[in-house]
Amino acid sequence: MSVLAINRGKKTVPDGSHKIWPIITDEDKKMVMECLDSGILTGPYGPQIQGAEREFAEWLGVKYCLMSNSGTAALHMAVAAAGIGPGDEVIVPSFTFLASALAVMHNNAVPVFADIEPDTFNIDPEKIESKITPRTRAIIPVHLHGLCADMDPVLEIARRRGLLVIEDCAQAHGAKYKGRAAGTMGDMAFFSVQASKNLPCGEGGFFVTNNEKFAAAANSVRLFGQNASFDDESLVDPLRPLDRGRGFESIGMGWQYMPGELPAAVTRAQLRKLDERNANARANGDFLSNAIKDIPGVIPPRIPENRVTVYHKYRIRLDAATAGVNAAPTVFRDRVLAAIQAEGVEACLWETLPLPLQKSFASRVGYGRECPWSCPLRDKPAAPAAPEDYAQAAALLDSSIVIGSHSFPVISQSIDTMKMYAEAIRKVFDNLSELF
């Protein structure tokens, strides 16, 4: 029996074994210098923004792509472009990042929560239909942790019930479902390029669609509700980049969601590395799953055969009873996490509460006075989430941990580090009597 590092034993993963994320190369630096040398730092027709939009659209295989200053902004652009407004409802999974639901509220609409599948962590298509009311306008399936939601039944329900589908691909650049890319299956989709994502630039996002009407509406929403055209090249004079040939005419409600040229330049450089880095994340995640699957009480993530994941996060479930320990799930989770971290493994809890239990939604803070749930345009307030709408999400969060942290995620590590991770997890589970 070896002594656990948390009890002053030797650490399994030595200091200095990790590679930080994002990985910045000379290509990133070159692109940034080129951008600075151009003297153009802003503008919807800036060369870096237009280049990033063109290259991302080509990489993904979509007709329209608009870059924004965050993924949340890109989702709000989609919600607004769909005409979803006060009193309307949008179905969102109970387990996702806050932004998936907050962006719905940004347009005064109500997020309605549907529970998740316990083993893929994504929205359970069987839980969607009972959440549909006459006010429902759209479903936002989230491809969480880089694994696509079960899209065929989601799309079938949406078609049959006349709803739009907006894919949340914030964590899923390069993920596939039955050969189709995340972001190409619904009516609209968005990606985040925030620094922790598989495609990182700092802060930013992409709105994508194949629908010209939605693209035009989102383009207007992105910049003060202006009557903006996509490709009026005559508006860019590289010698006078801040002087534009058009007036500022607002044709509808709008925000300021433009990114700058510098993040767009970094995104372009990072995009060239995305497929290679996703392949590394996949190799690492698959290796780890294989190496730890026989440890009693450890359940690696399930990746259905019809899907390709990009392991933006690698989450394992823990089962105290199978491990032979009599402890509450959160007690087991927290002690195992501390012991694994002490062994030198980068690991964390990413979210601890399902969305319906977070104060903003549970106490109906919103804009105050229960808006948007009690919006005057509704005949009655939206129903609160019931425990069965988040039971699986709550159970998952109580009994799972993420291997990899934001600064040192699985995607930037080597297989040798994964080997040490597997050894460390096995060591902790072989010595649980030291913890309980």
Q: Choose between 169 and 223: whose C-beta lies nearer to ligand PLP.
A: 169
Does the active-site annotation cover 30?
Answer: no
Binding flag, residue 400, ligand PLP (CB under 6 A): no
Contact call for residue 420 and ligand PLP (CB under 6 A): no
CB 22 within 8 A of CB 273: no
Q: Is residue 96 part of the contact set for ligand PLP (CB under 6 A)?
A: yes
Could you say whether residue 93 binds ligand PLP (CB under 6 A)?
A: no
Q: How far is the CB of 350 from ligand PLP (least distance, A)?
A: 9
Residue 72 binds ligand PLP, judged by CB under 6 A: yes
One-letter amino acid at 206 equals F
Q: Report the site for ligand PLP in 122-181 (rule: CB under 6 A).
A: 142, 168, 170-171
Cβ-proximal residue to ligand PLP, closest one = 71
Residue 309 near ligand PLP by CB under 6 A: no
Q: What is the 3-state secondary structure (H, E, C) of the chain?
A: CCCCHHHCCCCCCCCCCCCCCCCCCHHHHHHHHHHHHHCCCCCCCCHHHHHHHHHHHHHHCCCEEEEECCHHHHHHHHHHHCCCCCCCEEEEECCCCCHHHHHHHCCCCEEEEECECCCCCCECHHHCHHHCCCCEEEECCECHHHCCCCHHHHHHHHHHHCCEEEEECCCCCCCEECCEECCCCCCEEEEECECCCCCCCECCEEEEECCHHHHHHHHHHHECCECCCCCCHHHCCCCCCCCCCCCCCECCCCCECCCCHHHHHHHHHHHHHHHHHHHHHHHHHHHHHHHHCCCCCEECCCCCCCEECCCCCEEEEECCCCCCCCCCHHHHHHHHHHHHHHCCCCEECCCCCCHHHCHHHHCCCCCCCCCCCCCCCCCCCCCCCCHHHCHHHHHHHHCEEEECCCCCCHHHCCHHHHHHHHHHHHHHHHCHHHCC
Question: Does the footprint of ligand PLP cover residue 94 (CB under 6 A)?
Answer: no
- Given the complex with ligand PLP, which of 192 and 220 has the nearer CB atom? 192
Residue with smaller CB distance to ligand PLP, 99 or 323: 99
| Residue 96 or 219 having the CB closest to ligand PLP | 96
354 lies in the site for ligand PLP, by CB under 6 A: no
Q: How many residues bind ligand PLP (CB under 6 A)?
A: 14
Residue 97 touches ligand PLP, criterion: CB under 6 A:
yes
Q: Which residue in 94, 100, 289, 413 binds ligand PLP (CB under 6 A)? A: 100
> Shortest distance, CB of residue 100 to ligand PLP, whole angstroms?
5
- Active-site hit among 197, 293, 359, 427: 197
Residue 99 touching ligand PLP (CB under 6 A): yes
Nearer to ligand PLP, 303 or 339 (CB): 303
**Residue 216 half-sphere exposure toward CB, CA atoms < 13 A:** 7
Least distance from C-beta 135 to ligand PLP, angstroms? 23
What is the smallest separation between the CB atom of 97 and ligand PLP, expressed in angstroms? 3
- Is position 70 an interface residue for ligand PLP (rule: CB under 6 A)? yes
Q: Which of 192, 219, 270, 278 binds ligand PLP (CB under 6 A)?
A: 192
Q: Does residue 69 belong to the site contacting ligand PLP (CB under 6 A)? A: no
Whose Cβ is closer to ligand PLP: residue 147's or residue 428's?
Answer: 147
Q: Which residues sit at the interface with ligand PLP, rule CB under 6 A?
A: 70-72, 96-97, 99-100, 142, 168, 170-171, 192, 194, 205
Residue positions annotated with a catalytic role: 197
